[in-house]
Amino acid sequence: MPAKIVTLTLNPALDKSTEISHLVPEQKLRCGPLQLDAGGGGINVSKAIQRLGGKSLAVFPAGGHNGKVLCELLKKEGVKTNALPVPGETRENISVLESASNAQYRFTLPGLQISENQADECLDIIKKLKPDYLVASGSLAPGLPETYYEKVAVFAKDIGARFILDTSGAALQAAADEGLFLLKPNLAELSALAGVEKLEINEVDDAALKIIHEGKCEVVVVSLGPQGALLVTRDGFEHIPAPMVKKQSTVGAGDSMVAGMVWGLNEGKSFHEMAQIGVACGTAATMNHGTELFHAEDVWRLLEWIQKYGERYQIRDFGA
């Protein structure tokens, strides 16, 4: 059976995390055990879909020993992969939790350089998979032009896949100019797309609607951190409040949200329910430490809350 959801990660990483009581300079620091995780936007989305009981296939370039470890880690989690072998070593990211302060230090190393031809080879792999949904998340690898996601947007149209993109800056702008299915910008990303320094909360719906009217996408889900999200379509907008939870770390909240939404769409859910599932997944991800995404049982509990009580906490006068 052809894969329904395919994720693309052009700048994957092997995430290494550990813990230390106090981070101090000069001294030898004795760290806790090393935890290895497969990382990178699209890969996180695939991992999160798996946790929801769904299926996807993760496509990414993989280099050297780290690339191999990345594939093994995903296999262990049951995530199907189709990695393009590339020369060089897939990057590592390092995060250190200082337990005394509960502060997390995240060191992100430069990504493995890949050529446009190699990225095109990833697209060739995807073409054969005939996905219904193509999700790209994260930054572009060094070596790729800033307009590369624009090419992916054209490609997605050619193969008849609905393209969902979660990235930022010039890469996002270029793809949006080409037009795609769904965008999930946060407030800063939406402001940049709208060409303004900072949008006020009451300008968010108009800015998102303008993007839709300009033909940049069909649906915008603006993620608003602890305030949840604003779903905007041609027909109007709806605020989905996020339940209050004890926040541990917001790492992976955006990818979890995207995963929930694409999973929901693939299950035939409406945009309304898609956005509710997205918020439930994003918020559930904040309940865990570090790079850990979410536990499915938290998602279903939070979703129930949103569906029962969300309306009470809705902001209805965004445009006021």
Is 235 known to be catalytic?
no
Reported as type and span, the H/E element at residue 39 is: strand 35-39
Catalytic residue among 15, 166, 255, 298: 255
Contacts of 89 by beta carbon, 8 Å cutoff, 6+ apart: 63, 64, 65, 66, 67, 112
Q: Rule CB under 6 A: choose which of 67, 111, 138, 228 binds ligand ATP.
A: 228
Question: What token pair was written down for 209?
Answer: 């609607």
Closest distance to ligand ATP from the beta carbon of 98 (Å): 20
11 part of the interface to ligand ATP, by CB under 6 A:
no
254 part of the interface to ligand ATP, by CB under 6 A:
yes
Residue 242 binding: pick among Mg ion, ligand ATP, none (C-beta 5-8 Å cut-off by kind): ligand ATP
Closest distance to ligand ATP from the beta carbon of 160 (Å): 27
Q: Rule CB under 6 A: choose which of 84, 129, 212, 245 binds ligand ATP.
A: 245
Q: Which residue is nearest to ligand ATP (CB)?
A: 282
Closest distance to ligand ATP from the beta carbon of 43 (Å): 13
Please give the Cα distance from 314 to 209 (Å, whole number): 19
Site residue total, ligand ATP (CB under 6 A): 20
Please give the Cα distance from 227 to 305 (Å, whole number): 15
The answer to whether the CB of 183 falls within 8 A of the CB of 275 is no
Site residue total, Mg ion (CB under 5 A): 1
Window 221-260: contact mask with Mg ion (x via CB under 5 A): ---------------------------------x------
Pairing of strands 80-86, 162-166: unpaired
Q: What is the DSSP string of 196-244?
A: -S---GGGHHHHHHHHHHTTSEEEEEEE-GGG-EEEEETTEEEEEPPPP
Whose Cβ is closer to Mg ion: residue 254's or residue 260's?
A: 254
Q: Of 270, 275, 241, nearest to 258 (Cα)?
A: 275
Task: Kindly list the catalytic residues.
Answer: 255
Interface ranges with Mg ion (CB under 5 A): 254
